[in-house]
Amino acid sequence: MMDTAWIAKVWNEEHPAPRREIECRHCHAINRVPVDKAVLYPHKAICAQCKKLLFLANDEPLTGISSRSFENPLDSETLGTVRAIPGASALMKLVHKRLNESKLLFHMKANAIECNDEQFPELVAIVKTILKRLDCQFVPQVYFSSMPFVNAFTSGGEEAVICFSTALLNQLDDRELEFVTGHEFGHLMAEHVISRLILQVVLNGSFVALPGIARYLSMPLKLALLKWARCSELTADRAGLLACRDVTVALNCMMKMASGYERGVTERTQLSLAAFVAQAISLGRQEGDHFDSMMSSLFAGQQSHPFIAWRVMELIDWVENGNYFDILAGKYV
């Protein structure tokens, strides 16, 4: 049983849960739904007029959904900044031309375990479930690899690849894997792949598919790319939530990513999602715009999935004020 006590940390007497106007996808009546109830019991929300379910069931696909429906505006804004830097567009075209997907697949086959009907079909099944839910047009080959970091990554377009680290498989349950898988598909659907490949060059100095690209990168372009990369995570998190369709699962997964969820912690205590969410909220209340200073410190840190508390706040904000419930009610681009 997931710990839903976090809800009272977000919505309480001081900050009551707003009611959202949700249009019924069956009879088009407008229903006013309290956000906290919808978060807790999405599959109990029924239309006051026709008595049918307001929100899609977990196995109903978001047919034909475009990533524009769930794109975080910071994502497109910061990508605009990247594109406005002289030479950036030419570089993107060059990378696109030189992106050698079969080389990338070769690299995966040489270093990771390929999953299929004979090898870890359980993982393939989770990936297929999420492909269907998000109606994702990319059908990636699934891999897992022994890595000490809680991590998953996606690459490629036509020949897409998704790879899970063993640390991630150790620490997450199946529902949380749905969130991570949806997050990765979010990157694919929103076409983050080219810019993220360039970022790999920024972070690692080289990349198997793109030798020699690093010398084309200027410092302003590197910084703009890094800033965009953080923001692109926010779009991917929204896709993750649309994949697992349970805010508690998504937040719990983020807490585990922050905590590492290692035995040294889990054998001594039970982690509290409510306390973690309260921590994220207190971060949000801090004065001033720390964003840019955090960005420069990240440049040294080179993490690929940072700012867990920031991502938690952004996700809760989307649920409360954005179009998350509209999408679940079948209203999207």
Stretch that binds Zn ion, among 158-166, 229-237, 250-258, 259-267 (CB under 5 A): 229-237
Q: Is 203 in the site for Zn ion (CB under 5 A)?
A: no
Nearer to Zn ion, 307 or 324 (CB): 307
Nearest to 99 by CA among 192, 184, 198: 198
Give the Cα separation of 45 and 24 in Å (integer).
Answer: 10
Binding mask 235-264 for Zn ion (x = CB under 5 A): -x----------------------------
Tell me if 214 contacts Zn ion by CB under 5 A: no
φ and ψ of 30, to 5 deg: -90, 125
Cβ nearer to Zn ion, comparing 24 with 39: 24
303 near Zn ion, rule: CB under 5 A = no
Q: How far is the CB of 147 from Zn ion (least distance, A)?
A: 15
Instruction: Give, as ranges, the residues between 12 and 31 that touch Zn ion (CB under 5 A).
Output: 24, 26-27, 29
Place of tokens 């769930």: 70
Close Cβ partners of 197 (under 8 Å, ≥ 6 residues apart): 95, 99, 155, 207, 209, 210
Question: At closest approach, how far in Å is the CB of 25 from Zn ion?
Answer: 8
Name the minimum Å distance from CB 7 to Zn ion.
26
Nearest residue to 153 (alpha-carbon basis) of 200, 117, 118: 200
State the Cα–Cα distance between residues 44 and 91, nearest whole angstrom.
Answer: 50
Nearer to Zn ion, 7 or 56 (CB): 56
Compute the least distance from the CB of residue 154 to Zn ion, in Å: 8
Q: Binding to Zn ion by residue 316, rule CB under 5 A?
A: no
Dihedral of the alpha carbons of 155, 157, 160, 166, in degrees to the nearest 10: 20
Q: CB-wise, 51 or 109, nearer to Zn ion?
A: 51
Interface residue with Zn ion among 2, 50, 147, 167 (CB under 5 A) is: 50
Between 10 and 33, CB nearer to Zn ion: 33
| Number of shown-chain residues binding Zn ion (CB under 5 A) | 9
49 lies in the binding site for Zn ion (CB under 5 A): yes
Considering only residues 148 to 187 of the shown chain, the ones binding Zn ion according to CB under 5 A are none
Do 253 and 174 form a contact (C-beta atoms < 8 A)?
no
Residues that bind Zn ion (CB under 5 A): 24, 26-27, 29, 47, 49-50, 233, 236
